[in-house]
Amino acid sequence: MIIGRFVSLLGQRLAATGAALWVIAIASPTAFADALPDSTWVAVKPLPHQARSAVFALAVDPANNQSMVAGNSEGSLLRSANGGTTWTTVHSGRANLTTVGYSPFTSGLVLAGTLGSGALVSRDGGATWSAAQGLEGRSVRVFAFALTLVAAGTDRGVYVSSDGVTWGQSGLSDRSIDALAVEAIHAPIRLVAGSDSQASSGPLPLYQSVDGGLSWTTLNPPLSGSIVVKLAAGPLPPTGSVRPLLVGTNTGLFASVDNGLTFAPLSGGALLPATDYTQVNFITDHFDHFYVASDGGGSRSGGLWRSNDAGRSFTSLRPPEASVTALAVSSDEQPILYIATFQPSTHMPSLWTFHDTGGTPQGPATAESPAASGSRTAHPGGDSIFSQILASPQLPYVGLGLAALAVLLTAVVAHLRSRHR
């Protein structure tokens, strides 16, 4: 009887402790998001073993703004479940990672492209990975997602897949494709592809398919530039059935609202600098809200901008470093941005996060960038460790950890006291 009561009491206390720890664990991602200061750049922990080379593969889960996948220069895929506070290696390889993307339509589907070694696929949100079939030996530069189809741009044209696992050649096999967009996600699926094979003469290398990649035709838009570096299709507007299409070339940014028949320039003049636009992301379901970024092509004309009016005006988000090599945007109404930057003079990559609440962008707490070696950013000599902890955006994590420890110690003490009664 006594033993039974003891076991029952102990079980109740352990259950209560477990429940408290579960609540704390569930609250942690929200606490981290809340801990990010509004419209302020915050340094993210560097990717482990990242050499002095740019980061191009970076993506955030559309269902969880704290879950990310990134690729480092050693060929490893790394995953973070807490907004970049910690990174875990989930796949080790030898080929450089060129791109990574979550499917917005199939939960848990994540794809990663490599330089010369095909693609990798995950069906569990990036926790485990396997080689995609049919892309062996290809350099995979970009993925684009429709409801029932995934397309990949490679050094030998476009490949398509129904599940992200098994792939087949679609077309344009004699061209190098580095930009893809899905303009119609329902059948008949409309694809637009761009090439980084410089056109010596004639129109910009831009192509479209209106049958899910079964056949391709050439688009002949009068756009400036010799190569296409980025394509992005936005959500449908409230009225109409045509998605906005943004095209980044090596000399500017252009927009179309008629399936690529005509384009209007968004860069040049007082709007945006005339540079290469390598990153474009729309905001949730807003057809007229999007971010554009540039690495500047090695110059200082790179940056990151937001438009809330379909490109009629832009606001600079003033990233800590001008050369933006990767951009990931969460699906929140007030998104969390993750970016990779690169310092050409030092060949130093850095990672940053920014909670865009619409306020005036503020710089990071210190002028120094996090080193790729993983060394800590220096603090002024007069700051105590206690004051550094209080000033850290990770303070809620410290508090939650202490609370969890207190709950656990309380349960242990109660158990020990009950044994002496």
Per residue in 82-111, pLDDT (tens digit) is: 999 999 999 999 899 999 999 999 999 999
The strand pairing partners of 79, in sequence order, are 69, 88
Q: CB-based contacts of 334: which residues, under 8 Å, 6+ apart? A: 355, 356, 357, 358
pLDDT of residue 59: 97
Q: What's at 198, amino acid-wise?
A: Q
Burial of residue 138 (number of CB atoms within 10 Å: 0-12, 13-18, 19+): buried
Parallel, antiparallel or unpaired: strands 315-316 and 324-329: unpaired
pLDDT of residue 413: 52
With beta carbons less than 8 A apart as the criterion, state whether 349 and 321 touch.
no
Q: What's at 178, amino acid-wise?
A: D
Q: Tell me which residues of the chain have a pLDDT lower than 50.
A: 1-10, 13-17, 19-31, 366-398
Going by C-alpha positions, the residue among 386, 409, 384 that lies closest to residue 398 is 386
pLDDT of residue 20: 45
Going by C-alpha positions, the residue among 165, 172, 169, 173 that lies closest to residue 192 is 172
In tens, the pLDDT along 193-204 reads 999 876 556 678
With beta carbons less than 8 A apart as the criterion, state whether 57 and 81 touch.
no
Q: For residues 222 and 420, what is the distance between their CA atoms, to the nearest angstrom?
A: 86
Going by C-alpha positions, the residue among 13, 11, 12 that lies closest to residue 409 is 13
pLDDT of residue 418: 58
With beta carbons less than 8 A apart as the criterion, state whether 182 and 175 touch.
no
The domains of the chain are located at: 2-31+393-419, 41-355
CATH number for 41-355 (one of 3.40.50.12240, 2.130.10.10, 2.60.120.260, 2.60.40.10): it is 2.130.10.10
DSSP H or E stretch at residue 387: helix 385-391
pLDDT of residue 51: 82
pLDDT of residue 191: 97
